[in-house]
Structure formats: C-alpha cells, structure tokens
Amino acid sequence: MSIALILIDIQNDYFKNGKCELFNTEKTAENAKKILILFRKNNLPIIHVQHISMSSTASFFLPDTYGSKINKIVLPFENEEIIIKHTPDSFFQTRLQSCLDEKNIDKLVICGMMSHMCIDTSVRTAKKLGYDITLISDACTTKNLFWDDKEINAETVHQVFMASLQNSFADIKNTDIFLSNYCK
C-alpha cells in the first residue's frame, strides 16, 4: 500500500488578518507541519493543493495575491507537487487523481482547511474514488457558520464534520495519535 500526504488550502487568506480568517489556524498549520515533517523524513509523496478563485465574485484566494499563497508554516519544497484547484473539490478538473495514479497511491493522509467545505468535499470524493483515507482532525480547521439566524461556532462545525466523516469516509486521528502509530 502506497501512501501520500495531501495538504489542502493551507493558504494565507485563512490566517490572522487574511480575507477569510479561520479558527485557530496557527495551531492547525503547526500540526499539519508535524505530519509534513514525518513524510519528508521518510521520503514519502507530498501534495499541496492550492485554491485559486476564478469567480468574479470571489473575495479571497484571488490570483497572484499574498492571500492565495501557501502559508510559510507548510511551504512546499521544490520537489513537492502543487495542485491548483478552482472549486472546493481537490479532484474536480485537477490533475490530483492522475498524480496519485502515477505514484500508485492508494492511501491518503489529509490535512487542511476548511473542514466544512474543501476537506469534506475532497474526502468524500477520494472515498468514492476508492482511496483509503486518514484525516488528521487537529490539522484541519474551519470558521463560524450562520444558519437560520443563529451562529454556529467553528469548534462545533469542525466536530460535526469530523463525526460525519468518521468510519464511513475516513479514519479520523489527531496528530499525536497518528505520529505515535506511524512511528511504531
């Protein structure tokens, strides 16, 4: 079984003073970095997914902006793949699946942003495509949402999406558990 790390949308606009600031991004990115270091140390495939908004109504991840760049905490090395996407689904009209196929990857470890949008959509598509998925819960984050005139805090949104993906779509682990199990 061949494994790859996929880091989804860990981009500047999601961080403090960005155009779409999320909850607890620094800690989330630091956890993703721990997984990234493990994959680098073991010379395993790493794929960064970068969202570039092409819609005329987009307010963040605009082309050629600081906000659309991958954050320095998980900045790609030159030999690491970068897949550009324009929708929440990392597989839709991108070369992600062909890249994974070329490397004979069948197991994915996924980290990134936003839990309720791009993480959820990409994990569900990956499962439909037959990948075995481990999702690192504390290396993902989201933001407060509003529904029916009520605010739902980011922690609750995140927990609901992790719970809904657990078992049916992914094996959900936190960073420390993943690292301790991987290093055994």
- CATH value at residue 146: 3.40.50.850
Question: In the predicted model, what is the mean pLDDT of residues 41-56?
Answer: 95
- Tens of pLDDT, residue by residue over 118-145, are 999 999 999 999 999 999 999 999 999 9
pLDDT value of position 56? 86
pLDDT value of position 1? 62
Give me the DSSP letters along 103-124: TT--EEEEEEE-IIIIIHHHHH
pLDDT value of position 28? 98
Q: How confident is the model at residue 182 (pLDDT cuts 50, 70, 90)?
A: confident
Residue-range definition of the domain harbouring residue 59: 3-182
If one counts the domains in the chain, the total is 1
Distance CA 74, CA 36 (A): 7
Q: Pick the closest to residue 6 from 128, 139, 138 (CA basis).
A: 139
Q: Pick the closest to residue 8 from 104, 106, 107, 116 (CA basis).
A: 116
pTM given for the model: 0.96
